[in-house]
Structure 1
């Protein structure tokens, strides 16, 4: 059983990364279009300034997303061996933007903070890649170690901020915040240190912090990085906060931070969020592209006996998995879309889509939506056979994952936000 924070109040709500159940599934009542273009089924389109790959979130009539404005630096000296390239950014400003769901009008464009000489962020990434979390009256905008802000969504006022949570992301931040009860959970898996922390969402104060304490196979901090978002599940009546990292995945008690179990799988730079069903937890390992289905019922270090099945072909490092009943869907970074039997790992199909992928797929009304970096969205019928229902394209391409709001898709390209809906 999965609970991604708090259940959304209406089918319009998509409160955090991967939606109301945190697994990419829209409510059954949602029926968004399967076809669109720049001229068809576009209710509105609005330009978003700056650069940000965070996914849009929706609460009621508000759509929120984050972005960052960069000021380029003068030419910097060459880096020392082992250091990242010289940072081309001299100053970065962090924003939370609110758009009216009905009209596309920008309601708030809030500059939350500015940082001089920020840590390096790889051009493929952005300073605003962490998807915010929204609930009634509150937005939690997270930019990794650059800062976390809580905003009153009715007034646009900042209620609290934290800019003292250190981590050298080395290539920029990407892990998104998660809310459960009164706690806000954040993962920091960086070059220099790796930890998970829980903040009181009302005040921003630290409730607990746990270092990862992973015995890495290398001293190279570049191989200790990860970008995954935590997931919350109930296993045998007990909540678990499952937090993937480089080389292993660790589960914690969400209230106390006590470590419950860990499992080694190798890899680094993992960004995919775990999903769960049939008593199995499905997780990926990062750059070495392994998919594991495990039973998360043990304590301490889980061994091979916890692994029910594994796969090694077409496994993503960036897009998250999608579970629909007995079927597990995924798309690799290189565009291989696969459907597997969730109980056994049997592959039903593996088909190449055009382009590369960073966005995670979503399910709505019996269809899977895959959004590529070149701007194409492939709409595939859910099922054991590959049936391409439609192929649609928007300008500028997708890094952010879609949101589903009632009968609309909220799509963020590199430059614009769209509401896709029938007339």
Structure 2
């Protein structure tokens, strides 16, 4: 996680430091994983958030168990991923509007004025990737991905870079929801491919990608459409695409969701792709996108 505190009067965010969550990871990652180990995706190697080895500190802060701290630009709620002694982080540098400009930008969206207080919007965002040395905290590389002019509004508690990237061999897959999906070569920092999958998130992106059997799997549960898609990890082309079950909801706001999928192997040896969403938990065949079963869990949302 990267967090920015922006001094009043600045038109764009100042550089931020890796906050306490990142500090904790840095302070514990070396003894827990070793420089040759990896934390390649959201919730770790198995997607369950469990670390089985190591002895992380239970207290940490500016003056306790701090290994290093590094200034980085932008704002992002995405988690760091680690491989080969390098930490990879995504970020969005926002071009901040004045309050009058913010209101005018929001009026151009489909949001009602009563929602404006809980929304944030930027004049533009610069999407970036940072490579940081795990042992020293030195910023090794900054990769400029793209600039998005007049991006959609997000919730004021969200960021434009909330989905966590995923490492797949020499590739780094970075997903920013409707703002773009990018595949980068970790060895040279060059862009391999990119895709744009437009979606109305309502309050910004949140679902992180996973890699399975050479496919980048994304849950795309927006307001106007809900579906799951698998992209070829090498080329970015679509392998399969499956619509979600029908939603019993009066508005698109109650159909959106932001979950990250997982793959399990059942007692029959069959791999199931489990995708939680609004109203439904659904199991799909990760190879084809065919639906195995669905479970209705009520009229919840998000």
TM-score bracket, shorter-length normalisation: 0.7 to 0.9
| Contact 1:11-1:29 at 8 Å conserved across structures | no
Question: What SS does structure 2 have at the residue aligned with 1:217?
Answer: coil
Indicate the residue corresponding to 1:227 in structure 2: 258
Pair 1:193-2:225 in alignment: yes
Indicate the residue corresponding to 1:89 in structure 2: 122
Distance 1:116 1:142 in 2: 17
1:161 alignment partner, one of 194, 209, 230: 194
Question: What SS does structure 1 have at the residue aligned with 2:57?
Answer: coil
- 5+ long unaligned stretches in structure 1: 1-7, 271-423
Distance 2:111 2:177 in 1: 25
Distance 1:51 1:183 in 2: 28
The CA deviation at 1:143 is 0.3
Would the alpha carbon gap of residues 95 and 20 (structure 1) be closer, same or farther in structure 2, given more than 3 Å must change? Answer: same
The CA deviation at 1:184 is 0.7
Listed one character per residue, the Cα deviations across residues 368-422 of structure 1 (whole Å, up to 9, x for unaligned) are xxxxxxxxxxxxxxxxxxxxxxxxxxxxxxxxxxxxxxxxxxxxxxxxxxxxxxx
Distance 2:79 2:301 in 1: 19
Would the alpha carbon gap of residues 267 and 50 (structure 1) be closer, same or farther in structure 2, given more than 3 Å must change? Answer: farther
The CA deviation at 1:258 is 0.2
Indicate the residue corresponding to 1:13 in structure 2: 38
Would the alpha carbon gap of residues 31 and 80 (structure 1) be closer, same or farther in structure 2, given more than 3 Å must change? Answer: closer
The CA deviation at 1:42 is 1.1
Would the alpha carbon gap of residues 207 and 177 (structure 1) be closer, same or farther in structure 2, given more than 3 Å must change? Answer: same
| Contact 2:36-2:84 at 8 Å conserved across structures | no
1:43 alignment partner, one of 46, 63, 67: 67
| Contact 1:227-1:269 at 8 Å conserved across structures | no
Indicate the residue corresponding to 1:204 in structure 2: 236
The CA deviation at 1:75 is 4.1
| Contact 2:168-2:211 at 8 Å conserved across structures | no
1:314-353 to 2 correspondences below 5 Å: none
Greater strand share, structure number: 1
The CA deviation at 1:82 is 4.9
Question: What SS does structure 1 have at the residue aligned with 2:67?
Answer: strand
Indicate the residue corresponding to 2:30 in structure 1: none
TM-score (structure 1 length as normaliser): 0.59
| Contact 1:11-1:30 at 8 Å conserved across structures | no
TM-score (structure 2 length as normaliser): 0.81
1:256-335 to 2 correspondences below 5 Å: 256-270=288-302
Distance 1:268 1:173 in 2: 18
1:69 alignment partner, one of 78, 86, 93: 93
Distance 2:233 2:110 in 1: 40
Distance 2:34 2:68 in 1: 24
Greater helix share, structure number: 2
Distance 1:93 1:75 in 2: 18
Question: What SS does structure 1 have at the residue aligned with 2:253?
Answer: helix
Would the alpha carbon gap of residues 190 and 81 (structure 1) be closer, same or farther in structure 2, given more than 3 Å must change? Answer: closer
- 5+ long unaligned stretches in structure 2: 1-32
Distance 1:61 1:267 in 2: 44
Distance 1:41 1:255 in 2: 44
Question: What SS does structure 1 have at the residue aligned with 2:68?
Answer: strand
1:57 alignment partner, one of 63, 67, 81: 81
Residue-pair matches, total: 260
**Quick one: higher RCO (CA 8 Å, sep 6+), 1 or 2?**
1
